[in-house]
Amino acid sequence: MTMHSFHAPDIAPDTLVVAAGRPERAPDAPVNPPIVLSSTFVGAGVPGPGERVYGRFSNPTWDPLEEAIAQLERADLPALVYASGMAAVASAMSLVPAGGVLVVPRHAYNGSLGLVGDLATRSNVEVRIADLEDTEGTIALFGGADMVWLESPTNPMLEVADLRALTAAARAAGAVTVVDNTFSTPLLQRPLELGADIVVHSATKFMGGHSDVILGAAVTSQVHLRERLHAHRTLHGAIAGPFEAWLTLRGLRTMALRVERSERNAAGIARRLLTHPAVSGVRYPGLPEDPGHHLAAEQMDGFGAIVGLRVTAGEEAAERVLNALRLWLPATSLGGVESLAERRRRHTGEPESVPADFIRLSVGIENLEDLWVDLSQALDTAL
């Protein structure tokens, strides 16, 4: 299928989410790309470049989504979509050679940290753990590094990393930089523009936006890196199903509206949490008193929809709060239209430096007053 394309740099991100990845306009053409359910494609002889050949190598339903994500991230090459965010993470981490050196944030997504542990034991990768709020201390770990893995804000602790300084120092040290941009989405932060080599996403979260699909993506503007990621996806086989790819593009169409509303709600919730007597601490980069606020204001176009809080009375009280919620859902994941709350340390894979009383909120698009009434009555059970 040919795609209608235009010069993306001229177009604002909140237009791109709607306009990118449309079929070529022609009389009677559909305005949405079709779902192509075919495991193989007609062809004979030695396949030429760009030929589809087989459904694990390429699928026409991936193309519009890969085009749209690339335009949003201001990448020069199409993104690559995967079966999950973790498949994209695994593909990017596969660029670290056996016996190589990998720098990771102490509070990266716990699945990414799990995979790092696997690389350390099975491929003898040297892992260096960084506190991303300490820019100098992080840069001091870059000597001899093959890859620097970054997340900003981090999941779940919402620490903000100086992406420009860290990617520049990593490049000077000869390391490939990867930024997991799931929390921010390309609407709020474009790491390739800040100097990153590769961006990965759990499109399961804000891109899909409705908690009904699992999908991942990786984006780069460098041909040799994209070729290696593409080869990894093809050979390891963690490809996106055509329906999941279609559903994610369907979700992407409203991402600007959803993120805008969720962010406004998150700012309101964070501000109110500061005054609730059951809460001992709040993390949200949008709060002027947050340690990451200035950096976030500099490198982001917004502060996102994830808020962290600590419950003064401790872990059991935090569980009581979650059980007392009626509108918010106590569930993992984030970035959907519905508001979710989770005590992250319920997962054994979560680093112990995440406090046991820490609750991560993914603020949805409901009415702010309704969200606050429910959350504050639940927090009252922890007084």
Ligand X SMILES: *Cc1c(COP(=O)(O)O)cnc(C)c1O
Catalytically active residues, by annotation? 56, 109, 180, 205
Q: Is 159 in the site for ligand X (CB under 6 A)?
A: no
Instruction: Write out the two tokens for 87.
Output: 């498949």
Instruction: Please say which residue, 87 or 169, places its beta carbon nearer to ligand X.
Output: 87
Residue identified by tokens 């997340």 is 151
Q: Is 204 in the site for ligand X (CB under 6 A)?
A: yes
Least distance in Å: CB of 149 to ligand X? 11
Residue identified by tokens 């090459």 is 77
Least distance in Å: CB of 331 to ligand X? 13
Q: Is 213 in the site for ligand X (CB under 6 A)?
A: no
Q: Which of 291, 292, 287 is nearest to 270 (CA)?
A: 287
3-state secondary structure of 177: strand
Give buried/exposed letters for 309-320 (b at 16+ CB in 10 A, else e): bbbbeeeebbbb
Task: Give the interface segment with ligand X, choosing from 48-56, 107-115, 254-262, 362-370 (CB under 6 A).
Answer: 107-115
Give the integer Cα–Cα distance in Å for 4 and 306.
Answer: 34
Q: Is 182 in the site for ligand X (CB under 6 A)?
A: yes
Would you call the peptide bond into 186 cis, given omega within 30 degrees of 0 as the criterion? no
Q: Is 184 in the site for ligand X (CB under 6 A)?
A: no
Instruction: Scan residues 119-158 and list those touching ligand X (CB under 6 A).
Output: 151, 155
Instruction: Spell out the alpha helix ranges (H) of the chain.
Output: 13-19, 62-72, 85-93, 110-123, 135-139, 163-172, 185-188, 191-194, 223-236, 242-252, 255-273, 293-299, 315-324, 368-380
Give the integer Cα–Cα distance in Å for 229 and 120.
Answer: 20
Among 111, 117, 281, 291, contact with ligand X (rule: CB under 6 A): 111
Among 20, 86, 92, 240, contact with ligand X (rule: CB under 6 A): 86
Q: Is 211 in the site for ligand X (CB under 6 A)?
A: no
Among 62, 109, 206, 284, contact with ligand X (rule: CB under 6 A): 109
Q: Is 85 in the site for ligand X (CB under 6 A)?
A: yes
Task: Give the interface segment with ligand X, choosing from 9-17, 129-137, 179-187, 356-364 (CB under 6 A).
Answer: 179-187
* Residues sharing a CB contact under 8 Å with residue 64, sequence separation 6 or more, in sequence order: 3, 20, 21, 22, 23, 33, 249
| Closest residue to bound ligand X by CB | 85
Least distance in Å: CB of 262 to ligand X? 15
Task: Give the interface segment with ligand X, choosing from 12-20, 50-58, 108-116, 127-135 (CB under 6 A).
Answer: 108-116
The contact set with ligand X (CB under 6 A) reads 84-86, 89, 109, 111-112, 151, 155, 180, 182-183, 202, 204-205, 214, 216
